[in-house]
Every structure is written in structure tokens, then in C-alpha cells.
């Protein structure tokens, strides 16, 4: 699975390790992917062929505390800002398109607010948004809601849920049926399963604490965040997403009048795996 995928490790100014992989066309339009929670540098595996065909260079780093990237000081959603700058500086890029997926959404927004001059476009795919109102989350799968609740009030329980340990040992295999049909089709497809499992396991290679912190952060809005976004922004969201309901994206879009919103009819949380066409079109 990973024989053709090379992991590159660099060091930031403080000596911290940042790990990343590249996919698609190595000479194509650069796109930095902010992976989900949990997730890893392997989140680009499912998009490799589509990106190559479209002339897109996908650069997917492990965020702090995930995969092989070292943890960093807690600066909330801005904890990843410096890694992004260090990465594109290393790659000698003036700017790049930034794509935030799922739990990476808040970090993508934070970077876009902090260094807009280094970002050519922001694409948010099924992205969770900090401080999403409760009424936008009513259609979220109950198990996912329980995980977010545990991340805030019982972090050890949330970590066990993510890792599938203890009483949660059967959680992963038994939970497929709770997902929308579109996501079940992806999860049970043998052509996708290895990449999804690798991404998930690598995401918690250092334990689940980084992902738990991610989930807990989303409870609170970041003051002035939306008003700080000046780069062209596109929301892509599946209408049947049970992890991050589409109402979350509609709410965020309403606060960013310059943004564009595209609904993926019938799409689940993993629509970018089922059919990456809309995402590739937005990134091009």
C-alpha cells in the first residue's frame, strides 16, 4: 500500500519534526491538505490518481501530534499555522491552495486568517467549523455526538473510543451500519478499505490525545474568525453527511458572503473518496 508513497520529514526552526507525503502530479498546482481528526499524511492515498490526472500536486502533512509530526505548544486552532508556513517555505512555494477536510476545517480557517498572502484559495470539504450552533448538529450521528461530548468532559473515554480499546474494542467494526448508505458503500468497498484503515491507524500512532484535543476545540467559536477570511473560499458538503451535517456548512457560508457553496447531492462524509470529481474541480 505505501511502497510507492514516500514520507518526507523536515524540521522547523525549533527542531520539531514535520512529516508529509505527496500525491498526484509532482509538477502540478500545489494543494496542501489539512487532514481530519484523527487522520494523517495518508489521507491523500484515495485522491492520488484523480489528482495526477488533473495536474494537481497534493501535499499532505501530519498535523502536530498525529502520525510522525511532533506535538507543539497549544495555540488553539492556530497551533498549525507555523507548520503550514514551514512546509511551504521548505517546498519553496509562495502560496498554495489549502483544503481542509472534516476535523481539519478549523485549522484551515485559522491559517487562512493568519497568513492570507500564502494561500491562493481555501476549500472546505465536509469541514467541521468552530462554534457551530447546536441546531446545526441535530442530524449528527449519535455516536459522533457522544465522541465530541466525551472529548470535552471525559477525554480518556474519548481516546478509548477513537482507539477502539477496552469496552470499545468492537466499536469500529460494529459501527459501519450507523453511517449513511453513501459512506457505508465506501467503508465496505475493498478498493478503499486499506487506504482508509491505514490513514486511521496512522492518525493515532502517537495515541489519540491530539484527536481528542481537536474535537474538544470545536465546542467554542473563534471570535472574528469569519471576518478575518479574505481568500476565495469554497464549501463542498454532502447532503447526507452524518458526521458533520450540511447545516454546519450552510451556517458558516452565511457568515462569509464572498464564499461559494456547493452541495453534493446524496454525498456522505466520505464523498471525496466515493467520487473526487467535485473536489478536484474546486481545487483546479
Cα 49–chain centre separation:
19
Percentages helix, strand, coil for the chain (3-state, rounded to 5) are 45, 20, 35
Which strands sit side by side in the sheet containing 119-125, from one edge to the other? 8-11, 17-24, 56-61, 29-34, 96-101, 119-125, 233-238, 260-264
Give the Cα separation of 71 and 106 in Å (integer).
17
Q: Is 93 helix (H, G, I), strand (E, B) or coil?
A: coil
DSSP line for 144-208: HHHHHHHHHH-HHHHHHHHHT-GGGTTHHHHSGGGS-HHHHHHHT-TTTHHHHHHHHHHHTBTBS
**Taking residues 139-146, what's their average pLDDT?**
94
Q: Tell me what percent of the residues of the chain surpass a pLDDT of 90.
A: 90
Give the Cα separation of 116 and 251 in Å (integer).
22
Q: Give the residue ranges of DSSP H helices in the chain.
A: 48-54, 81-90, 105-114, 142-153, 155-163, 171-174, 181-187, 193-203, 209-217, 246-254, 271-274, 277-283
Could you write out the three-class secondary structure of 14-25? Answer: CCCEEEEEEEEC
Peptide bond into 38 cis (omega under 30): yes
Beta bridge partners of 260: 234
Give the Cα separation of 159 and 240 in Å (integer).
26
- pLDDT exceeds cutoff 60 at 3: no
> What is the pLDDT at residue 181?
94
Q: What is the pLDDT of residues 19-64, one digit of tens each?
A: 999 999 999 999 999 999 999 999 999 999 999 999 999 999 999 9
Q: What is the gyration radius of the CA atoms in the chain, in angstroms?
A: 17
Q: Is 124 helix (H, G, I), strand (E, B) or coil?
A: strand
Give the Cα separation of 94 and 161 in Å (integer).
40
Among candidate residues 61, 145, 68, the one with its CA nearest the CA of residue 111? 61
The model's pTM is 0.95
Residues 6+ apart with CB under 8 A from 276: 46, 47, 50, 51
How would residue 133 be classed by pLDDT, with cut points 50, 70 and 90? very high
How would residue 176 be classed by pLDDT, with cut points 50, 70 and 90? confident
Give the Cα separation of 210 and 185 in Å (integer).
28
Q: Is 48 helix (H, G, I), strand (E, B) or coil?
A: helix
Q: What is the pLDDT of residues 162-175, one digit of tens each?
A: 887 776 766 555 67
- Residue for cell digits 464549501? 235
Amino acid at each position: 500500500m505505501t511502497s510507492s508513497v514516500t514520507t518526507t520529514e523536515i524540521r522547523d526552526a525549533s527542531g520539531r519534526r514535520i512529516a508529509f507525503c505527496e500525491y498526484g502530479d509532482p509538477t502540478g498546482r500545489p494543494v496542501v491538505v489539512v487532514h481530519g481528526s484523527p487522520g494523517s499524511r495518508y489521507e491523500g492515498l484515495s485522491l492520488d490518481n484523480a489528482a495526477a490526472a488533473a495536474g494537481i500536486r497534493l501535499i499532505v502533512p501530519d498535523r502536530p501530534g498525529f502520525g510522525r509530526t511532533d506535538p507543539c505548544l497549544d495555540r488553539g486552532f492556530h497551533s498549525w499555522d507555523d507548520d503550514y508556513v514551514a512546509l511551504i517555505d521548505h517546498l519553496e512555494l509562495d502560496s498554495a491552495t489549502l483544503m481542509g477536510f472534516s476535523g481539519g476545517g478549523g485549522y484551515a480557517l485559522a491559517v487562512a486568517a493568519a497568513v492570507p498572502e500564502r494561500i491562493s484559495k481555501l476549500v472546505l470539504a465536509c469541514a467541521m467549523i468552530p462554534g457551530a450552533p447546536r441546531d446545526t448538529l441535530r442530524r449528527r450521528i449519535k455516536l459522533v455526538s457522544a465522541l465530541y461530548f466525551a472529548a470535552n468532559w471525559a477525554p480518556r473515554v474519548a481516546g478509548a473510543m477513537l482507539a477502539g480499546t477496552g469496552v470499545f474494542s468492537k466499536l469500529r467494526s460494529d459501527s459501519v451500519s450507523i453511517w449513511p448508505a453513501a459512506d457505508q458503500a465506501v467503508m465496505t468497498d475493498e478498493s478503499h478499505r486499506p487506504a482508509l484503515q491505514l490513514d486511521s491507524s496512522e492518525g493515532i500512532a502517537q495515541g489519540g490525545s491530539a484527536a481528542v484535543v481537536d474535537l474538544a476545540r470545536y465546542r467554542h467559536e473563534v471570535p472574528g474568525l469569519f471576518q478575518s477570511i479574505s481568500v476565495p473560499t469554497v464549501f463542498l458538503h454532502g447532503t447526507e453527511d452524518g458526521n458533520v451535517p450540511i447545516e454546519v456548512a450552510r451556517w458558516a457560508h452565511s457568515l462569509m458572503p464572498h464564499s461559494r457553496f456547493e452541495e453534493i447531492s446524496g454525498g456522505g462524509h466520505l464523498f471525496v473518496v466515493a467520487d473526487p470529481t467535485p473536489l478536484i474541480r474546486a481545487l483546479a
